[in-house]
Amino acid sequence: MKLIMLGAPGAGKGTQAKMIAAKYQIPHISTGDIFRSNIKNGTELGRKAKEYMDQGLLVPDELTVDLVIDRLAQDDCQKGYILDGFPRTIPQAEALTAALAKRGEKMDFAIDVDVPDENIVSRMSGRRACTGCGATYHIVHNPSKKGELCEVCGEPLVLRDDDKPETVQKRLSVYHEQTQPLIEYYGGQGILRTVDGAQPMDDVFAAITKILEA
């Protein structure tokens, strides 16, 4: 099963992608997580990506596309995978379609987690990310049982720099300009499915599994 998660920043793509990956035993590939781990490890890619991420801008396609296409060629992707945060531009989507077509493959579904802009700001200002393992929480909707520490690994939780309100507005406008056109792109390929992402997490998950098992 090959899936794409679409949706605004903070819509719940990562939350759902982790649950789907666990249920169907497929790798969860998050470009945001890949960039953040490069930043943490002080790589050249991390240094370049950070300049854009801190401003709420997209990392250029030249730094993003090959990274993902190479990742998809690894052994653990044979049975499928779930892409979270990629593609985010029409050129990224076209590059993905072309790379798969070369191997006679295609994506199964692009799932749009639809959440109105009004809900996004509170989702992002309440998000807490683990500095150790990347797990995400929400101070109201999904608090850590260990307070300010991660339930999984015990490391401290932080508000991501790019989740501060000034950057969130920028990211939302970048989403509408550069990423939202993918909804039409995958609609045209006949693989778009939309779920109401404003529901509680478990209801969103139930809606997605219903689509995958239909």
User: 116 touches which of Zn ion, ligand ADP, none (CB within 5 to 8 A by kind)?
Assistant: none
User: 150 touches which of Zn ion, ligand ADP, none (CB within 5 to 8 A by kind)?
Assistant: Zn ion
CA distance 160 to 121: 13
What tokens were used for 57?
Answer: 């801008």
CA distance 158 to 21: 24
**Dihedral of CA 127/130/135/139: which sign?**
negative
User: 153 touches which of Zn ion, ligand ADP, none (CB within 5 to 8 A by kind)?
Assistant: Zn ion
Task: Please report, as ranges, the residues that interact with ligand ADP according to CB under 6 A.
Answer: 7, 9-15, 31-32, 35, 52-53, 57-59, 64, 85-86, 88, 92, 123, 126-127, 136-138, 141-142, 162, 171, 200-201, 204
CA distance 61 to 92: 7
Task: Please report, as ranges, the residues that interact with Zn ion according to CB under 5 A.
Answer: 130, 132-133, 135, 150, 152-153, 155
Q: How far is the CB of 202 from Zn ion (least distance, A)?
A: 22
Q: How far is the CB of 44 from ligand ADP (least distance, A)?
A: 16
Q: How far is the CB of 21 from ligand ADP (least distance, A)?
A: 13
Nearer to ligand ADP, 64 or 110 (CB): 64
Letter string b/e over residues 149-187, b meaning 16 or more CB atoms within 10 A of that residue's CB: ebeeeeeebeebebbeeebbeebbebbeebbeebbebbe
> What is the pairing mode between strands 2-6 and 81-84?
parallel
User: 93 touches which of Zn ion, ligand ADP, none (CB within 5 to 8 A by kind)?
Assistant: none
User: Is 36 one of the annotated active-site residues of the chain?
Assistant: no
Q: Which residues are catalytic?
A: 13, 88, 127, 160, 171
